[in-house]
Amino acid sequence: MNKRQFKILSLLQWIFYPVAALMLLAFLADAFGGYRYWTDAVWGFFDRAEDPVAIIVIGLFYIVLVALVWQFLLIEFSRPRLRRKIGPPLIELYPPRFATRFILPVLAAFFVVGINAMIFVPGTVDFSISGLDLAPLLFLFFFYSVAHFLLIAFSLRAFRNMPFFVATEEGFIYEPGDVSPGLIKWSDISEGAEAALLSSGSANIGGPRTRPTIVLSLKDPDAVFDVYNPLLREINQVATRITRYQSGGVGDIVLAAEDFGVHYDAVRALIRDKLGTRWTSRLPE
């Protein structure tokens, strides 16, 4: 990790450790009793503040969900036209067939069946949906929306079996999650490099890790990302600032090595060849 990444982790520690300490103190007070100040005053304060905080958090989740669904619909209408324009592929990579065509749609279907049973089948859960407060009701509706959106997205992906990465003489399309700005022309890229970025993957049980990525800067990122809806553009700008801070200034687009598996070296070699002198071998520490 470089110094900028350690600064990010240090900032997150200042948020995490005080919250964890308060939760531990409240747990000890509840477990051993007799500390009415902690149980009544401190923990009671968090209980009273829980609903507004939860509503703010779920509100942010809703903003992200609306942005992704909105962009998903835009891509669905433009995808056939875009595929015809990019030309014959130099590299064309597909997601794992078994996971894409079977596991993900089945899991999404179970998710949909389960959450519909919770809401519409009496006796499935021990609580009444009508008796829920605003915050848990918003969370429930959020997961209800996510479940049906994933079922539609995974089912379409299973039937179509479309590539998530296509590179041609003109540029490339990279959409591992069915959301992308479309064709990125080689001529639109101002700089490219390989960078180790902080990973939020589920494999990081032992603590924060970095993962190899290809980071690309664009000559005019506003023009490229203009195809995004306004909500997604704002979210993308925040993510881009974090990436650029880690890499030392490069990173409008990030291609994760884990998405390409054994094909990563071939993809990196092709991008380096297309960029020529615009490829940076060493990023600032």
The domain spans of the chain are 3-92+164-277, 95-160
Higher pLDDT, 113 or 129: 113
Give the model's pLDDT for residue 265: 92
Which range among 16-20, 148-152, 188-192 shows the weakest confidence by mean pLDDT?
Answer: 16-20
Q: Above pLDDT 70, what percent of the chain?
A: 73
Is the pTM here over 0.85, yes or no?
Answer: no
Average pLDDT score over the chain:
78
Give the model's pLDDT for residue 130: 72
Give the model's pLDDT for residue 158: 78
How do residues 147-179 score in pLDDT, each as one tens digit?
Answer: 999 898 888 877 777 888 999 999 998 887 777
Calpha distance 176→165 (Å, rounded): 7
Q: 40 falls in which pLDDT band (50, 70, 90)?
A: low
Give the model's pLDDT for residue 202: 47
Q: Above pLDDT 90, what percent of the chain?
A: 15
Higher pLDDT, 58 or 96: 58
How do residues 192-219 score in pLDDT, each as one tens digit?
Answer: 988 887 765 544 455 567 788 888 999 9
> In the predicted model, what is the mean pLDDT of residues 237-253?
80
* CA angle (141, 129, 143) in 5-degree steps: 20
Give the model's pLDDT for residue 29: 61
Calpha distance 233→252 (Å, rounded): 12
Higher pLDDT, 115 or 7: 115
The strand ranges marked E within 90-167 are 91-93, 165-167
Tokens 């939020």 identify what position?
200
Task: Annotate the chain with DSSP letters as a single string.
Answer: --HHHHHHHHHHHHHHHHHHHHHHHHHHHHHH---HIIIIIIHHHHHHHHHHHHHHHHHHHHHHHHHHHHHHHHHHHHHHHHHHHS-S-SEEE---HHIIIIIHHHHHHHHHHHHHHHHHSTTSSSS-GGG--HHHHHHHHHHHHHHHHHHHHHHHHHHH---SEEE-SSEEEE-TTS-----EEGGGEEEEEEEEEEE--TT-TTS-EEEEEEEEEES-HHHHGGGS-HHHHHHHHHHHHHHHHHHTS--SEEEEHHHHGGGHHHHHHHHHHHHGGGEES----
Residue 2, pLDDT > 60, answer no
Give the model's pLDDT for residue 27: 64
> In the predicted model, what is the mean pLDDT of residues 31-56?
59
Residue 263, pLDDT > 90, answer yes
Give the model's pLDDT for residue 186: 93
